[in-house]
A and B are shown apart, each in its own frame.
Chain A
């Protein structure tokens, strides 16, 4: 691992490991959608959880960002004897079939970071409510803009069903304020070169009219932050997403107002913990305080936090606290356990 920013979590885990019922045979796999910087924290989380809960936990990355490659990865891990799966769904509908097969083998699974569409075999979805995150981010942006103005929204591939949710959420937040309008949506810019070309073309054409930018995908956030820095423009407010160094630095230097942080470390860590409990005989409670999102009614919020200039230096603290909070009563809140 090139980066291990989340070392703080080890201490947190010590507190918990004493009281955990351990099933020695849990062999959990954490599978992202493909190679992507967002998921790097899962590797640390898997290692920490494996040690703390005495289980095996492996972070396995599909060779390319393709649904079929992810499916093949999951299948190969089943053949190797993995018996609990934590998956970022390669497709909100399409991943259900693979999880259903795991279910046929009585292998439990849950979705991390993003959810599958209900009805789904996933026991729960622990992640960011993409709709809510985009909505809250836009609200923060509108506040920063002083309550009125024109917004541009830069987002990822339209084939990803989450992209439509994000577009809707930004639209909704804007519609709740008089004098706020989404002037342009630019999508399909998950590759850096087209993102650079299109975002700058937008700034060239509308740079004087636009008052705020909200980005809801990793690459557009990075590229937009860089563009605003290059322009030296601090008039246009921007709210980004995730924790790329470029975005965080731009927040520090005042070119970006803030970012909607997610909690990948907590997702991985809590996910392994929950899978171990399930394998030791616990079942999910039907009457737990599940949240309902556009996709599922078995949602647990892993924490979405707005991080502005004040919090950016200690941004992981916010997430460690969030993780601690969920861990503290996770078992009692969400699970029925035999003993």
Chain B
């Protein structure tokens, strides 16, 4: 599912295709290896409950990763993913619990609100001609602050039972049904970036804005679209998390929504989406999230020294990205020969 930018992209890294094409393979190998090791070492790891719990975490983190990925492809960043996600679900929670709107309408409202906040980031980025990093640094505080003012930090914890039960469904191989929702989202994104005009325009604009502008791509519009899409995806991840938590929580993504930043960046970046823009890998993002989820779950199962989990995870992540890089390097060399 790897996406290469439009042909003729002026990339700094030469034969990117070889590297990207195998990026997913590397992640898959590490993840499968980790699954085998953990199943062997930790008796609870392959229990039905753990598979269910793990896939549920994965489902949410994948969409959080997608939310960042669609902005990375423009060469930008979105620090406000968590703040948008939590703002959107508070709107959704209000719609369901206070306004009594049907679940589907409330969910759509939350998605639309997320998209609107995201689009606002995009518009500010374009209008102020600054890096989206700067804009979203400020709007993170702005959105989160507004949410706190409006909700006074009160949760909506009497959501309709049907909505909450969505998160409890299990399907084949004990996996959480939410994982399928994430896969569908992934397929839609893949289709968007491969088979639509706007998708190709986004990739072109991300790779080389001035060249794209010359060839008639509305660069500014693609930036706004990507930020809007990012906001909608953040809202979707937030809705899944809300169903999982059984309540719309202001604290869902931590202070300023910053708890989401780590999963948001890890998945796409491990998956081979370049921060410079113009390329992305939907499958890579999925596998990146899978690797991180498996590793952190496995470490918890092994009960490595109680306070050391985070440090171990950091070391493993660093080793994983370095190894992957090494493998890609070797592969690229072979291919050149």
Contact = CB atoms under 8 A, between A and B. Distances in A.
- Asked if A and B form a direct contact in the complex, defined as CB atoms under 8 angstroms apart, the reply is yes
Nearest to A98: B245
How would you classify the secondary structure of chain B's contact residues: helix, strand, loop or mixed? Answer: helix
A161 B248 CA distance: 13
Nearest to A99: B246
Interface in A52-66: 59-61, 63-66
B15 interface: no
Interface stretch (A67-75, A201-209, A249-257): A67-75
B114 interface: no
B249 to A, nearest CB: 5
Contact of A164 (B43, B49, B154): B154
Interface in B257-312: 259, 296-297, 300-301, 303, 306-307, 309-310
Given A76-B44, A163-B153, A91 B245 contact: yes
Contact of A97 (B246, B251, B301): B246
Interface stretch (A3-11, A78-86, A270-278, A311-319): A78-86
A96 B246 contact: yes
A160 interface: yes
A65 B168 CA distance: 25
B251 A96 contact: no
B306 A66 contact: no
Contacts of A96: 157, 246-247
Given A76-B44, A80-B301, A91-B155, A159 B250 contact: yes
Nearest to B251: A159
B252 A67 contact: yes
B81 to A, nearest CB: 14
B38 to A, nearest CB: 11
Given A35-B307, A72-B57, A160 B251 contact: yes
A159 B153 contact: yes
Nearest 8 CB-CB pairings of A with B: A79-B44, A97-B246, A75-B53, A79-B50, A76-B300, A93-B155, A93-B157, A159-B251
Interface of A: 35, 59-61, 63-68, 72-73, 75-81, 90-94, 96-97, 100-101, 105, 117, 157-161, 163-164, 188
Given A79-B49, A94-B247, 5 more contacts: A61-B306, A66-B254, A68-B60, A78-B53, A92-B155
